[in-house]
Chains A and B, each alone.
Chain A
Amino acid sequence: GENVEQHPSTLSVQEGDSAVIKCTYSDSASNYFPWYKQELGKRPQLIIDIRSNVGEKKDQRIAVTLNKTAKHFSLHITETQPEDSAVYFCAASMGGGKLIFGQGTELSVKP
Chain B
Amino acid sequence: GAVVSQHPSRVICKSGTSVKIECRSLDFQATTMFWYRQFPKKSLMLMATSNEGSKATYEQGVEKDKFLINHASLTLSTLTVTSAHPEDSSFYICSARRGEGTDTQYFGPGTRLTVL
Contact = CB atoms under 8 A, between A and B. Distances in A.
Per DSSP, are chain B's interface residues mostly helix, strand or loop, or mixed?
strand
Interface in A11-64: 32, 34, 36, 41-46, 49, 51
B44 A49 contact: no
Nearest to A32: B103
Contacts of A43: 93, 107-110
B43 A98 contact: no
Contacts, number: 55
Contacts of A49: 103-104
Interface string B30-64: 00101000000111111001000000000000000
Interface stretch (A68-76, A77-85, A101-109): A101-109
B103 A46 contact: no
Contact of B43 (A41, A95, A96, A103): A103
A100 B105 CA distance: 12
B46 A104 contact: no
Interface residues of A, number: 24
B71 interface: no
B106 interface: yes
Contacts of A93: 103
A98 B49 CA distance: 8
A104 B45 CA distance: 12
A97 B97 contact: yes
Interface in B78-116: 93, 95, 97, 103-110, 112
A86 interface: no
A46 B34 contact: no
Nearest to B91: A41
B77 to A, nearest CB: 13
A44 B44 contact: yes
Contacts of B107: 36, 43-45
Contacts of A97: 32, 34, 49, 97, 103, 105
Interface of A: 32, 34, 36, 41-46, 49, 51, 89, 93, 95-104, 106
Interface of B: 32, 34, 41-46, 49, 93, 95, 97, 103-110, 112
